[in-house]
Amino acid sequence: MDAFYASVEQASKPSLRGKAVIVGGLGPRGVVATASYEARRFGVHSAMPTAQARRLCPNGAYLIPRFTLYRQVSDVVMAMLRELSPLVEPLSLDEAFVDLEAGGVAFDSDSARATGERLRADIRAATGLSGSVGLAGSKMLAKVASEEAKPAGLLLIEPGTERELLAPMPVRTLPGVGPATGEHLRRAGITTVGELVEAGEDELVRMLGRAHGAGLYRMALGLDDRAVVAERDAKSVSVEDTFDVDLHDRVRIRGEVQRLADRCVARLRGSGHSGRTIVLKVRRYDFSTLTRSETLRGPTDDPAVVREAAARLLEAVDTTGGVRLLGVGVTGLADYTQEDLFAQSLAAGPEAPDAADGTGGAGGTGGAGGADPTGAAAGGAGPEAAAGATGAPEAPEPPGESQEAPERRWAAGSDVRHVLYGPGWVQGSGVGRVTVRFEQPGSEPGRVRTFRVDDPDLEPSDPLPLVGDPTG
């Protein structure tokens, strides 16, 4: 899919069509997840700090990601791919390999091309979004083809033409060549795929190591016999948070690690797994990252066990100077065991038997959100409008019943519904006000109205489907 998150936002918010849209973290340490093609013209791209994007494109619309909606759209597209073939290998929410031969829907270039065009049309009809199709005899070449086909195109690499096609391309075109390898090769005078071939396998192995060197050499020749794998088992589960401001207080750091451990276990259990190795990740004030891990005697999905292991690992880490990120992960995954099921049945009770560490709750700080009511920033490429900034992650914070109704926060881009005006989305908020644009997928660009942040007639709501469903 082309500029997937941004395209979904444009389809969902008619006033943003044709405008620069940037989806990503809006906090002081946020980065861009996806920029619309309009925003890319200003030099904005994925992985760029949002602060830098705002400098390059001050009038863009800056929105938090709405993964729930993206997942819904993705499910629709993936279902269409599975109609073509049983062998579909999703790479992410917006990308997948499909073995068309295994599906019997393509046996030569013409039939493959026809299938690809039909798919693009079907995706547009079902979602209103544009996708690109790369057709080739291997995964690596199909990937290269789809990148070349973007946006909204289709490219087929005819068998026998691979090497000539690849030779003039920059080495970074090949999957697996990132900034580090690219720079390494550049220093050796290798900048194109053709030069990679000339260098020869031995030289690449010497430079990059066995697996990487040999693999890259084969790719440069256009050789790739990896199969399309439909079902992939997860190998690890992890959660991490970057804090708006570096953490120094050891007690707070311990509390955050406990909280992350709980979230990690919730995800672990949600996926039906237990795991044996607990990993703690710490990114320090200077961006240096270290990991510490501990392998247990057997797999667990017990939050107390993971919390304790994470706490032990933290004890071995020097955090003086400050910590900007903490993460907790579990690897060495296994399926559920009988003990796990037994443990689960106990969970209905008051609480885990062992309350060893008194740090308990999250301390009411509300996580990575921090406090940054930096309102009013960007416009929807128009004179009005603003995309307020909150560092809050997409998932709404747990309601936190113990808290006295805190001031409601409205993240830019999130869905709302007003008693009088109906569905809309938050364009910005700050100084006690929230600005909402009332429009929905398929409507004309809507009008903007401003309310008090605690207006009782305004409620958060679920996203509306992109393509109208007459049955509701």
Q: Which residues are catalytic?
A: 95
Smallest separation (angstroms) from DNA to the CB of 431: 17
Which two tokens mark 95? 């990308």
Query: With respect to DNA, which residue has the nearer C-beta, 105 or 378?
Result: 378
CA–CA gap between residue 380 and residue 388 (Å, rounded): 12
- When asked if residue 434 is in the footprint of DNA (CB under 7 A), the reply is no
- When asked if residue 419 is in the footprint of DNA (CB under 7 A), the reply is no
Cis upstream peptide for 14 (omega within 30°): no
Identity at 258, one-letter amino acid code: Q
- When asked if residue 210 is in the footprint of DNA (CB under 7 A), the reply is yes
- When asked if residue 187 is in the footprint of DNA (CB under 7 A), the reply is no
- Binding letters toward DNA, positions 2-41, x by CB under 7 A: -----------------------x--xxxx-x--------
Kindly state the number of chain residues that form the binding site for DNA, as judged by CB under 7 A.
59
Smallest separation (angstroms) from DNA to the CB of 324: 7
- When asked if residue 292 is in the footprint of DNA (CB under 7 A), the reply is yes
- When asked if residue 181 is in the footprint of DNA (CB under 7 A), the reply is yes
| Residues shown for the chain | 472
- When asked if residue 139 is in the footprint of DNA (CB under 7 A), the reply is no
Please choose, from the candidates 37, 32, 34, 1, the residue with its C-alpha nearest in 3D space to the C-alpha of residue 17: 37
CA 111 to chain centre: 34
How does DSSP assign 76-101, residue by residue? HHHHHHHHH-S-EEEEETTEEEE-HH
- Binding letters toward DNA, positions 79-98, x by CB under 7 A: ------------xxxxx---
Please choose, from the candidates 99, 391, 106, the residue with its C-alpha nearest in 3D space to the C-alpha of residue 242: 391
- When asked if residue 114 is in the footprint of DNA (CB under 7 A), the reply is no
Q: Which stretch binds DNA (CB under 7 A): 291-299, 406-414, 437-445, 458-466?
A: 291-299
Strand partners, 170: 192
Which of 14, 175, 194, 366: binder of DNA (CB under 7 A)? 175
Query: With respect to DNA, which residue has the nearer C-beta, 327 or 446?
Result: 327
Non-local (6+) Cβ contacts of 437 within 8 A are 13, 15, 380, 385, 424, 425, 427, 446, 447, 448
Maximum CA extent, the chain = 71
- When asked if residue 218 is in the footprint of DNA (CB under 7 A), the reply is no
Please choose, from the candidates 404, 416, 373, the residue with its C-alpha nearest in 3D space to the C-alpha of residue 391: 373
What DSSP element (H or E) covers 134? strand 133-135
- When asked if residue 51 is in the footprint of DNA (CB under 7 A), the reply is yes
Please choose, from the candidates 240, 238, 242, the residue with its C-alpha nearest in 3D space to the C-alpha of residue 323: 242
User: Rule CB under 7 A: which of 328-357 touch DNA?
Assistant: 329, 331-332
Strand partners, 434: 429, 451
Q: Which stretch binds DNA (CB under 7 A): 37-45, 194-202, 323-331, 436-444?
A: 323-331
Which two tokens mark 135? 């057709």
- When asked if residue 289 is in the footprint of DNA (CB under 7 A), the reply is yes
Angle at 372 between CA 370 and CA 377, to 5 degrees: 145
- When asked if residue 44 is in the footprint of DNA (CB under 7 A), the reply is no
What DSSP element (H or E) covers 192? none
Which of 130, 374, 443, 461: binder of DNA (CB under 7 A)? 374
Smallest separation (angstroms) from DNA to the CB of 241: 5
- When asked if residue 368 is in the footprint of DNA (CB under 7 A), the reply is yes
CA–CA gap between residue 67 and residue 53 (Å, rounded): 21
- When asked if residue 277 is in the footprint of DNA (CB under 7 A), the reply is yes
Which of 128, 222, 255, 327: binder of DNA (CB under 7 A)? 327
Name the burial class of residue 69, with classes exposed (0-12), middle (13-18) and buried (19+) by CB atoms within 10 angstroms of its CB. Answer: buried
- When asked if residue 178 is in the footprint of DNA (CB under 7 A), the reply is yes
Q: Which stretch binds DNA (CB under 7 A): 81-89, 119-127, 282-290, 425-433?
A: 282-290
CA–CA gap between residue 399 and residue 391 (Å, rounded): 17
Q: Which stretch binds DNA (CB under 7 A): 68-76, 152-160, 283-291, 407-415?
A: 283-291
- Per CB under 7 A, residues contacting DNA are 25, 28-31, 33, 46-47, 49, 51-52, 54, 91-95, 143, 175-182, 209-212, 234-242, 267, 277, 287, 289-295, 316, 324-325, 327, 329, 331-332, 368, 374, 393
